[in-house]
Structure 1
């Protein structure tokens, strides 16, 4: 039977099979209202298809809702990184980069109003500005987090 097993494995490897992606973890806080509606509709379809199943799953919904409410009540600490970055953009080190980005953004806005489509974007200027702000804010952030 060794050759039969080999041929069976070879056949299984060569045939096209349906691929199923893993279901993503559900994070209720990060989903928007539309995504919540879509996921609830999908759950409704799944529950309506399995009509012969026992109805014991409905009791678990109340527990899930209570857990969600508890999670919503827990407040996360405020993120201070954006605040530190804004302060860093005002320093002498990063102010010229911010000024350069603002000028570029104004040019692009003017081109879009005038021609309907800008001939440039400000991605490079934005990255330079944010790199400077991040480099400035990182040591301050780590000092505060200690």
Structure 2
């Protein structure tokens, strides 16, 4: 089975033009959006707290997962409309 016809492709406009992954751009925009801002603040606060201690068992995994989930949800709304 060939996925060539099923999967969208992203191509450069000029032969020398470097491809830019639209997912990377969208992740940056979504990470800075007001929708995910409160989760980024929680993650940053946790990271600062953990980094300020020399001995701690605390991790910021939950905060990281919450933030990544928010960003991925935001990206999923528009990513496929940008692919050719």
- TM-score of the superposed pair, with normalisation by structure 2: 0.71
Runs of 4+ off more than 4 Å: none
**Count of residue correspondences:** 68
Q: Normalized per residue, which structure has more helix?
A: 1
Aligned runs of 1:51-66 on 2, under 5 Å? none
Structure with the greater alpha carbon radius of gyration: 1
Deviation at 1:76, TM superposition (A): 7.3
* CA distance in structure 2 between the aligned counterparts of 1:118 and 1:104, rounded to whole angstroms: 12
Q: State the match for 1:96 in structure 2.
A: 38
Contact conserved, 1:84 with 1:137, CA < 8 A, in 2? yes
Gaps of 5+ in 1: 1-74
Contact conserved, 1:109 with 1:118, CA < 8 A, in 2? no
Deviation at 1:118, TM superposition (A): 2.6
Gaps of 5+ in 2: 1-16
CA-based RMSD: 1.7
Q: State the match for 2:3 in structure 1.
A: none
